[in-house]
Amino acid sequence: MKLSGWMKALGLLVFVFMLGPVAIIVWISFFDQAYLSFPAEGYSLRWYAGLVDQTELFRGLLYSAEIAVITTIISLFLGVSAAIALSRSRLRGRTLFENVFLLPLVIPAIITGMALYIYLYQLSGIVQGGLVPSTWSLIAAHVIITLPWTFRLTYAGAVSIGTDVERASLDLGRGSLATLMRVTLPLLRPSLIGSGIFAFIFSFGDLEISLFLVSPGQTTLPVAMVQYAEFNVDPTLAAVATVQIVLIGLLLLIANKFIRFGEAFSGGLKQ
């Protein structure tokens, strides 16, 4: 279908509206002055060079990366297991189970964080142990918000590859575990890589849930950025945000090499 001129213009305006704030953040990160004012008085890389001296932000970066890696591993294990099991089952109402796994996407993250904190706090009194705040409660919460991505993308891939090759492997004497490891998972490699990258990105950049569940003395990067902004108004945060944008952009480019997200969320994904 050929798009008319006004539809193209409307699409361009939408993209500008969406990406405009990103461009402004990148622009601010190169300001020379130690306060935010427009227009810029000059440009320099001083705020990028100064990032090495921001101990709390760097510590938050490492902690966020650690949480994101652990979350990705757990989320992949659970999401892939559920996706393969559900795609190969003959359950009635299978679509209902698919939608259940996607429920965390429609619940605001701040509500999820608050609910988990209250639940785990009450549970701490029952089991006589401090469940919140803790690193493992934070990881569990991040798994909840990343599981829909690992499940949906892997499920789309599992549905697309069918079961013929798996049946051939079983008929030739391979057991279920050997078929899974040597046939199914290699065929799902693009989905696994793409969903793992998405899980890492959403865990790494989470703020709302981390605000409720971070342990004392251990702060994720988004929380450290909020705390920095309480007492400082300079382009340092813009420089940090620009580094994050570049990192996430590179990860998305890598993910795009393996899966096409439009097809994945419409229910089909060719491996």
What is the average per-residue pLDDT within 212-225?
Answer: 84
Distance between start and end Cα atoms, the chain: 27
Q: Which residue has the tokens 């939608």?
A: 99
pLDDT value of residue 180: 78
Over residues 141-155, the pLDDT tens digits come to 899 999 998 998 888
pLDDT at 270 over 50: no
Interval 189-203 mean pLDDT: 87
CA angle 14, 223, 104 (to 5 degrees): 60
Decide if pLDDT at 54 tops 90.
no
pLDDT tops 90 at residue 209: no
- pLDDT category at 266 given cuts 50, 70, 90 is very low
Q: What is the pLDDT of residue 70?
A: 95
Residue 14, SS3? helix
**Could you tell me the two tokens for 266?**
């419409």
Note the pLDDT of residue 19.
Answer: 83
- How many helices (H) does the chain have, and how many strands (E)? 14, 0
The mean pLDDT of 97-103, rounded to a whole number, is 82
In this model, does residue 69 exceed pLDDT 50?
Answer: yes
pTM of the model: 0.81
The length of the chain, given as a count of residues:
271
From CA 182, how far away is CA 95, in angstroms rounded? 28
Q: Which two tokens stand for residue 70?
A: 């652990």
* Measured CA angle at 258 (ends 183, 170), to 5 deg: 10
Span of 2-6, 60-64, 239-243 with lowest mean pLDDT = 2-6
Tell me whether the omega of the peptide bond preceding residue 39 falls within 30 degrees of 0, making it cis: yes
Residue 132's φ and ψ, nearest 5 degrees, are -135, 145
**What is the model's pLDDT at position 104?**
85
The contacts of residue 149 (CB under 8 Å, 6+ apart) are 75, 79, 195, 198, 199, 202
Q: Spell out the residues 6+ positions from residue 43 whose beta carbon is closer than 8 angstroms to its own.
A: 30, 31, 32
